[in-house]
Each structure stands twice: as structure tokens, then as C-alpha cells.
Amino acid sequence: MSAQPEIRPGQSVELLKQLHILTRDGRMNQDSRRKLKQVYHLFQFLEPLLSETLGEHPDVQLVDHGAGKSYLGFILYDLFFKDLAPGGRIYGIETRDELVASSRRLADKLGFSTGMRFYNLSVADSIESERLPARVDMVTALHACNTATDDAIRFALRKQARHIVLVPCCQAEVAAVLRRNKQERLADSITELWRHPIHTREFGSHVTNVLRCLQLESHGYQVNVTELVGWEHSMKNELIIASYKDLPRRRPGERLAELLHTLGLEELAGRFFRGDESAP
């Protein structure tokens, strides 16, 4: 048993050392303890979704966009895929080549390379990449900046993902449109919601996620929004979990269109109304 009570049973101590969560002598500082707690907290949301998918077929396919150092991917593989879904695969998508290379080296060193792949791709480019499977079970995107989260949603819809897990951040595009159109709509009292610059930024961020949720619901997904508690290092801790349930699509689509019109965001309709994706 590990000397660190925070470490989950079955977790590879060597992996935690390689991720610099544990020191070489197996110790953990406060920052590392917080980081591990955050990943474990997210794992609690993902584990039942992965188990549900595993009950349908053994080759579970997960794509992690904006993977960074692939903390999440390695923890998921170590705690779930390695023993419970050895026929499955995790794909880490990252634009920084040095992080892709280091993740590949670590997967080889730990013997995880049979079930983990890492590619230097943008989220947008991954949609058409032949290196990724035609169908994916789960898509994750943690702090994929600005429209990269929307690209991850497009990817998930195109790949007919059963589950989509998002922690959005740096959402500037909607705020920019609100700001640009503000003068034209000053007579409308609703613009008081974003008249001040700080409100424009915060309201724009909130509206972006509301529109994303309606977009997913308009494709038949059940959407739950919660707080990723313990994510103290980032102000962006909204967690969106969508699971495909073949729910009615018409009303969410109507509400999405109504909201875009009410807020003067019609020019963004193409971003949230993409009809070329197939339903799962």
C-alpha cells in the first residue's frame, strides 16, 4: 500500500513520479497534492461513463483535446483502460510538439504505448485527420482555449461520440460580437447585461456556454452543467457533461435561434448551427 493516503488503490507510483506529482522518494508537496486531487475529482465523473461504454463494447475509444502533458490521459489509462479496457485506446491531441514527444516517450517507458496515441494536431485539423478513428466513444477537452472548445464539439458530433466532457476557457469571440454591436442596441434594456466592459467579458463567457449546451441538446444530447470543485488554479471551472440520449431536438434548436436573435448574435449562427454532423 502507498505511503500517501491520497493515492487511489491500483495507481502506478512510477507514473506519478514521471508526471512529477511524486518526488523520486515518493513524497508529495501541497501543489502536487492539489493537482492529483483535481484529476481524481474529474475521474469520478468519467469513470461511470467509461464503464457504461465498456458494457456496450470492449474497444473504448477516447480522444483528449488540448492534452498538454496528458495528466488526464495517463491517469485514465492507468486506473481504467490498462486493466478494465485493454482493447481500448486513448488519443491525446496537442499542438505543442515537445509535449507530444514527451508523452510518447513516457507511454513507451511505462508500457502504455499499446493503448495510447499522441498526435501533433489542432482540434480543428483533428476533425478530418485519418489518424483518428471514424467513431469515438468519449471526447474530453479541458481548457481548450476559445473556439477550440467549439471545434471539440464539432469533432464529437462528427465522430458520433456517446459522451462529451468539457471544461471551457478563454471565451472571447461572443464577447467581441456583443461589444461590436453594443452601440446599435443601446435602446434595448437587455444590453445593460453587458454594457460595462467587465460584464461584456463575463456575460459573453456565460452566454457562450449556454449556447454550447443548447447546441448539444439540439443534437439529442442530455446535458448536465456543474462545477469542477477543487480547480483552484483556474477561474474557469465550469464542467459540461453531455451524453447522447436521442432526445427531442426541435425545441433546443428553436431556443438557440431565439437567444442568438435576442442578443444580436445572429452572425454566429453558423458556429452553433452545424447540420453536417451525424447523430450517434
Q: What is the pLDDT of residues 36-59, one digit of tens each?
A: 888 898 999 999 999 999 999 999
182 or 252, greater pLDDT: 252
User: Binning pLDDT at 50, 70 and 90, where does residue 232 land?
Assistant: low
- Ranges of beta strands (E only) in 95-220 are 116-120, 138-145, 163-169
- Helical axes 197-217 vs 148-158, angle rounded to 10°: 0
pLDDT at 279 over 50: no
Q: Give kind and range of the element (H or E) at residue 63.
A: strand 61-65
Is residue 202 over pLDDT 70? yes
Q: Is 17 exposed, middle or buried (0-12, 13-18, 19+ CB in 10 A)?
A: middle
Helices 250-262 & 197-217 angle (0-180, nearest 10): 160
- Residue-wise pLDDT for 130-187, tens only, equals 999 999 999 999 887 778 899 999 999 999 999 999 998 877 889 999 998 877 766 6
List the CATH code of the domain at 58-272: 3.40.50.150
* Greatest mean pLDDT among 112-116, 232-236, 273-277: 112-116
CA angle 120, 125, 127 (to 5 degrees): 115
pTM score, two decimals?
Answer: 0.91
| pLDDT given at position 276 | 46
The Cα 51–Cα 96 span in angstroms is 31
Please report how the helices 197-217 and 173-180 are oriented relative to each other, as an axis angle in degrees rounded to 10: 120
Q: How far apart are CA 213 and CA 247, in angstroms?
A: 13
